Structure formats: C-alpha cells, structure tokens
Structure 1
Amino acid sequence: MNLEKILAISGKPGLYSLKVQTRSGFVAESLADGKKITVNLKSNVSLLSEISIYTYEGEKPLAQIINNIAKKEKNQAAISHKEDNATLLAYFREVLPEFDEDRVYPSDVKKILNWYNILQSKGLVTDVLDEETVSAETETEQAK
C-alpha cells in the first residue's frame, strides 16, 4: 500500500485508507479498527503523499521522513507521540536535522510520530520503504 491511498481527516483521529469514491465524497476505512465511514467533499482531508515538512533548504515529503524514522528504528515503533515537546523535538532533530524549527511545531512532530506508529503497527512502513527505493532508483536513472 502506498501513501497515496492513506488519508488524514480533520476532526477524526487516526489514519484512513481510501476505498471508494462516490458522487458526494468517498468511503474510507479506519486503519485502527477497520470501520468504514463516508466522508463528504466539504471535509478537510489530506493525502499523506501530499504532505511535506519545511526544512531550511525547502520542503521534504512525508514519505522521506517516514523512511528516515524507519531507518533509525530499524522498522520498529518510534517513540510515543505523547512524550514532552523537548523530547519530541530532540528526536525529530535526529531524524531530520535540517527541519525549520520556526515553521515546524511540536504538534506537527506529534502527528508525524503518531502516523508513523500507526503505519508501522499495520505493517505498511516496509511498503513505503520499498516505494521510496523504487522512486529513488527511477530518479537516478532519469538523471543519467
């Protein structure tokens, strides 16, 4: 599964998998409990594949950050998103040293770690790693 089908829905906890598109919205399935919900088009929905984090050099895609966390943790769970802000920011500095500390807030780090742990618990982190490897190899070949 890739991050293009994984959603964060404003006002709803956790992550969702896009299942079916309808005329008035779509059906999503919770990764936590497997329950299906209908979401209308007026809801604020973010695809994880479209999320980026500010760095001093530009923006880094969320998939790359998840990849960095997975490498650091050897595909195991990361620290809890409920740790204190100082601990979270120190951990995030290890994962992404160049993140823009003025524009990335502790609440953003909490979301990223929570999302990573959800994806990791469902076995989806290895899929993200595989896709990152494939896309990196494709970019390298295109550069030649």
Structure 2
Amino acid sequence: MSLEKILSISGKPGLYKLRAQTRNGFLAESLIDGRKISVGARDNVSLLSEIAIYTLTEELPLREVFKKISEKENGGPTIHHKVPKVELEEFFFGVLPDYDEDRVYPSDIKKVVQWYNLLQKNGITDFSEETEGASSEEE
C-alpha cells in the first residue's frame, strides 16, 4: 500500500488507512490499534501523499523524506519520536541537511519520525508514487 490511502486526521493520534467512502465522509482504520472510525466531511484530513516539507530551495514531498529516512536506516525503524528536541533536529539535519529551520518546527519533525516508524511497523514501506502509469500514458 502506498501513501495515497494513508491519512492524518486532525485531533486524532497516529495515522489511518482509508477503507471506504460513506454518504457523509468515509471509513478509516487506525494503524495504531486497528479500530475503524467514521470520519465526517467537516473533519480536517490530510493525505500523506499531499504533505511536503520545506527546504531552502523547494518543498520536498513527504514520500521523498520517508525514502531518505529509509535509506539512512537501511529500511528499518528510526529514532523514537519522544527523544529530546536537539536529538530530533540533529537526526533530521542528517536526513535532510537543507530543510528550512525557520518553517519546519520540532513538532513537525516529531510527527515525521512518528509517522515513519508507524508506517514501518505496519509494513508500509513503498514510498514511490502510485501514479506512474499515468505519466507513461502521457508520453
């Protein structure tokens, strides 16, 4: 499974897998405990495939950041998200040396690390784009 079906829901911990669409929103399953929840159209939901991290030159898609973390950690889990702020920043600087320190806050780094470890734990390690078939049709 790729990041196109993985969600972050504001006010709810962890990440969720999109399961089905309903009349008033959709059904999502928690990657933490497997519980299914109904998410309304008014909830603030972000697809991981649409999130980007600011660098000094561009906005880097989250999938690219996850790829860099995976390469650094040889495909395994990384540091815990509850380590001190300084350790998180040092780690992130090692992964993405040109990240914009003014616009990427320690809380953002903490989320990225937590999400990466949660995806690893659930066997979601394919950080490539799912829309590769569409680009070959355009050529």
TM-score, normalised to structure 1, is 0.89
Report the CA distance between 1:90 and its aligned residue. 0.5
Higher helix share: 1
1:27 aligns with 2:27: yes
- The Cα offsets for residues 13-46 of structure 1, whole Å up to 9 and x where unpaired, read as 0100001111210000011111110000000000
Give 1:1-144 correspondences, 5 Å limit: 1-125=1-125, 127-128=126-127, 131=128
Question: Structure 2 stretches of 5 or more lacking a match?
Answer: none
Please give the alpha-carbon distance, in whole angstroms, between the structure 2 residues aligned to 1:94 and 1:43: 34
Please give the alpha-carbon distance, in whole angstroms, between the structure 1 residues aligned to 2:123 and 2:22: 28
Please give the alpha-carbon distance, in whole angstroms, between the structure 1 residues aligned to 2:123 and 2:18: 17
Please give the alpha-carbon distance, in whole angstroms, between the structure 2 residues aligned to 1:86 and 1:30: 30
Report the CA distance between 1:58 and its aligned residue. 1.1
Question: How many positions carry a matched residue from both structures?
Answer: 135
- The Cα offsets for residues 96-125 of structure 1, whole Å up to 9 and x where unpaired, read as 001000000000000000000000011111
Q: Kindly report the root-mean-square deviation, in angstroms, between the aligned alpha carbons of the 2 structures.
A: 1.7
Please give the alpha-carbon distance, in whole angstroms, between the structure 2 residues aligned to 1:118 and 1:106: 18
Q: How many percent of aligned residue pairs carry the same amino acid?
A: 54
Give the match's secondary structure for 2:104: coil
